[in-house]
Amino acid sequence: MKLKHRLVSAAASVAIALSQTSTLVPTVNAADEINDAIANSSGVDYDFARALQYSMYFYDANMCGDDVEGNNRFEWRGNCHAYDAKVPLHPIEDWVGVNLTEEQIEKYRDILDPDGDGCVDVAGGFHDAGDHVEFGMPENYAASTVGWGYYEFRDSYVKIGEQEHIETILRHFNDYLMKCTFLDKNGDVVLHCYQVGDGDLDHKFWNSPEMDEMGRPAFFLTEDKPQTDYVASAAASLAINYLNFKDTDKAYAEKNLKYAKALFKFAMDHPKELSDNADGPKGYYRSSKWEDDYCWAAAWLYKITGDHMYLEEIYPNYDYYAAPCYVHCWNDVWGGVQCILGEISEDKPFNKGEYVYPNFIDEFKVAANKSPYEQMNCWASVEKAINTYMTGGIGEITPQGYWWMDTWGSARYNTAGQLMALVYTKYNGDAPSKYSDWAKGQMEYILGKNDITYLERIDENTEAEKNGEPAVWSEDELHGSRCFLVGYNENSVKYPHHRASSGLTKCEDPDPQRYVLFGALAGGPDNADRHRDVTKDWIYNEVTIDYNAAMVGACAALYKYYGTPDMAPTKNFPPKPTFTGSDGEAGSNGCWVTACGIDDLHADGAGVTKVSLYVMTASTKKVEDISVRYYFSTKGMSDPNHVQVSELYDQAAVEAAPANGTISGPYKYDKMDDVYYVEIKWSDYNIANSGKKYQFTVGLYYGDMWQPADDWSYQNLKIYEQDDAFFATGTEVRNDNICVYSGDKLVGGVEPDGTVPDFGTDTDKTAVNYGDADCDGAVTMNDAVLMSQYISSPKKYPLTEAGLKNADCVEDGAITSADVKAVQMLLAGIYTQSDLPAKK
């Protein structure tokens, strides 16, 4: 137990040292990405070119399927849910299967399962939000609205060099819609998959999508249950996609149009009915009508074909008065409908080859039995809606002038209102107007021209006061600028509610997120200009594909009308993530363990060490057959076989059965004398990044001595005195001396002899054990003394080549007093191996 005394004296030495010298700063991660982006940006505070560029990238982060790696632009996202290509064709059981009866499955088997493997392929598309379900209504809305923005303001995307990017996103959306639409030999729709995954199950997990293994049922609509809103909203997106590709990829555009027509025909030929909210979306997305989606699709199809039939389908279902009553969103697209009908009502088409119908309103009046004298005009209705937003006729105007509709995703409604105002501007003068000026002001607020009350800081002060501690933040620090577009500037939201970017094992974890979710539009402020920036807040800080949908087109329009030569996309974007390790790169260790411990030691020398750990990974590939080894020394023991191991708690077994961690040992480590290990295996469960902790004891209560201070895995183990630490959040810290294996292959950590994972690179397989100047495998005060002697007289007290590498704890290429201080901080527990080398 001599280490405890060393830690006390080391802590005292460090305190003195820090009072005399500058502080050593450990390396940071995601903050560097933002700094890199800012350094390569235009420097313009409210840059609509940059905002447009960033806003598309959220869709890269939320791509799903087996082609993510070839299409998305983030290194930290990989292929995921590839097993959606093999959804078993049987009624849903234990979250697996399809929502069809056995009779329906047999009826459509040849169409659903052409290769006869007993499964249906519905892989692809986009995750809904920070979770990984694919919900039909918001996905279809996002696909059509992102496509609408590109259709209206295409030149802006081209001008900033993002045409290929936006088209990749639109292809991924619409390819999925076509894949999920099943046609018979006559080209008629017989089934359409509108949802994959279940919200209730999905929300029980917080891990990256690449690591998911949960069941993901598939939900289909059929001729018996047509669910008009799903098929119509999908048809609308595919019709818009035809317009976006007809001049650049005619064959692909025609395929989109074929499916759009088929889906609308299905909706037209079958009873009109609202989707069954209980069959898939449950309470997560409750669609309330189908008429708006039906008219949304019909309007676009008329624009393309000029077929009067589509107008005839609009007339009995069209709510002329609806647009000013709400705003364009996933559950109400009347605002978008009115804009497109405004375009159709023009005397001549804005774009060559498209169709208009100036008599639309007159025919509608007759069909709907309206008075011929009632003043009706589609663009006038849109204008009324915009004025309603501008004056708070619906929603509210906050004290700082922000139009607020609802605290849950206020920014999505605000940007949708902007998009409507900017489309109106395009077709009513095509020059800046009071409506586009309003949109500009709202967007500048979203980008940080505001004074937001920081609720998370108020929460911290309240907690401190409750604990009898001084306030963490001063009054002046409780408010300030906040940008709701993630990564846009240094004041941007930093803790979006997103599993993949967070790198955390639970949303309640307050730690910094692993990656920057560039371009995500956070939920936004409330009606008092307040916001809470914490990962666990799914109201203020939610991010979803429907939130970003109108943001993209609004930015494109604002760049068209208010762009300046100084505005420009960020160069070298997105920046390379500072947190490395994707796919197990050497130096990253691929996997690692975060852990803490509690000593239960007896006066007679016996006792145990209790360990609580999580297994983590930076890989975008599933790590198979994971096990963890905890190494300990048997020096001074009369018989190593006296050591006993025991499981305390297996969260995976409790919450994700049949998952089960099994502990065994001790086993002899064959590379060094007097070193043994305990092994925990999860052969049937992907424990990495699962958020499931495992707790165990190792030691002995009688018959021998248990002195953990010299144990390899005990080094850097955060030790607590109370058992409460095992039930708290954030108590486990990274410990590279606890090793992770895939089968028998080391994939994380450093073994006692210095072996590190070999991922097929040419790097040296001997790890740098920072502070271990004498290369005895442990960092002690002897190393600090030896380093001080070397500094004063290197010839008299030489260090080996490995010792020099280990002693260089600060990134300056030399052994100095700063390195000695870093060792003292390491011994005091202020630093861990992962914090080194430190920066001056």
Number of Cβ within a 10 Å radius of residue 635:
12
Whether the CB-CB separation of 144 and 242 falls below 8 Å is answered with: no
Lowest mean pLDDT among 89-103, 241-255, 512-526, 825-839: 825-839
Lowest mean pLDDT among 196-205, 249-258, 584-593: 584-593
What does residue 516 show for φ and ψ, rounded to 5 degrees?
A: -90, 125
Q: Is the peptide bond before 324 cis (omega within 30 degrees of 0)?
A: no
Cα–Cα dist 87/98, whole Å: 8
pLDDT of 606 reads 87
Question: What pairs with residue 754 in β-bridges?
Answer: none
pLDDT of 766 reads 55
What is the pLDDT confidence band of residue 464, given thresholds at 50, 70 and 90?
A: very high
Residues 532-536, mean pLDDT to the nearest whole number: 97
Number of Cβ within a 10 Å radius of residue 22:
8
Helix%, strand%, coil% for the chain, nearest 5: 40, 15, 45
With 0-12 CB in 10 A as exposed, 13-18 as middle and 19+ as buried, what is 490?
Answer: middle
pLDDT of 589 reads 46
Cα–Cα dist 450/444, whole Å: 8
Interaxial angle between packed helices 228-245 and 250-269, expressed in degrees from 0 to 180 and rounded to the nearest 10: 160
What is the pLDDT confidence band of residue 26, given thresholds at 50, 70 and 90?
A: very low
pLDDT of 31 reads 78
Q: What's the fold here for domain 34-446?
A: Glycosyltransferase (1.50.10)
Question: What pairs with residue 196 in β-bridges?
Answer: 134, 218
Structure tokens at 35: 């700094």
Structure tokens at 83: 């097993």
Torsion of Cα atoms, 173 then 179 then 180 then 181, to 10°? 110
Residues 689-695, mean pLDDT to the nearest whole number: 88
Does 51 score more than 60 pLDDT?
yes
Whether the CB-CB separation of 12 and 830 falls below 8 Å is answered with: no
First to last CA, the chain: 33
> Which distant-in-sequence residues (6+ apart) come within 8 Å of 580 by Cβ?
587, 588, 618
Does 461 score more than 60 pLDDT?
yes
* Helix (H/G/I), strand (E/B), else coil: 324: helix
Does 18 score more than 80 pLDDT?
no
Q: How many residues does the chain have?
A: 840
Does 19 score more than 70 pLDDT?
no
Does 13 score more than 50 pLDDT?
no
- Per residue in 587-620, pLDDT (tens digit) is 344 899 999 999 998 888 889 999 999 998 887 7
Structure tokens at 409: 């995703």
Does 584 score more than 60 pLDDT?
no
- Which has more pLDDT, 262 or 688? 262
Structure tokens at 106: 């047999």
* Helix (H/G/I), strand (E/B), else coil: 206: coil
Number of Cβ within a 10 Å radius of residue 230:
30
What does residue 606 show for φ and ψ, rounded to 5 degrees?
A: -80, 175
- Per residue in 782-815, pLDDT (tens digit) is 888 889 888 988 877 888 878 888 999 998 888 9
Quote the mean pLDDT of the chain. 91
Cα–Cα dist 323/341, whole Å: 12
- The sign of the CA dihedral 561, 340, 139, 508 is positive
Question: What pairs with residue 647 in β-bridges?
Answer: 696
Cα–Cα dist 685/662, whole Å: 11
Domain extent listing, the chain: 1-27+764-840, 34-446, 587-757
Whether the CB-CB separation of 227 and 261 falls below 8 Å is answered with: no
pLDDT of 585 reads 40
What does residue 380 show for φ and ψ, rounded to 5 degrees?
A: -65, -35
- Per residue in 113-152, pLDDT (tens digit) is 999 999 999 999 999 999 999 999 999 999 999 999 999 9
Residue whose token pair is 């235009």: 42
Distance (Å) of CA 430 to CA 348, 356, 436, 604: 15, 18, 10, 87
Residue whose token pair is 């209980």: 278
What is the pLDDT confidence band of residue 563, given thresholds at 50, 70 and 90?
A: very high
pLDDT of 296 reads 98
1-27+764-840, superfamily in CATH? Dockerin domain (1.10.1330.10)
Cα–Cα dist 357/723, whole Å: 74
Nearest-5° Cα angle at 354, 352 to 357: 120
Number of Cβ within a 10 Å radius of residue 667:
12
pLDDT of 15 reads 30
pTM: 0.83
Whether the CB-CB separation of 591 and 740 falls below 8 Å is answered with: yes
pLDDT of 29 reads 58
Whether the CB-CB separation of 218 and 196 falls below 8 Å is answered with: yes
Residue 183: its H or E element = strand 181-183
Does 1 score more than 60 pLDDT?
no
Question: Residue type at 437?
Answer: D
Spell out the CATH class of 587-757. Answer: mainly beta
Interaxial angle between packed helices 434-446 and 378-391, expressed in degrees from 0 to 180 and rounded to the nearest 10: 40
Cα–Cα dist 436/467, whole Å: 50
pLDDT of 565 reads 97
- Per residue in 389-430, pLDDT (tens digit) is 999 999 999 999 999 999 899 999 999 999 999 999 999 999
Number of Cβ within a 10 Å radius of residue 149:
28
Whether the CB-CB separation of 535 and 510 falls below 8 Å is answered with: yes
pLDDT of 711 reads 94
Residues 214-239, mean pLDDT to the nearest whole number: 97
Whether the CB-CB separation of 716 and 737 falls below 8 Å is answered with: yes
Candidates 416, 420, 432; CA nearest to 386 is 420
Cα–Cα dist 609/712, whole Å: 13
With 0-12 CB in 10 A as exposed, 13-18 as middle and 19+ as buried, what is 833?
Answer: buried
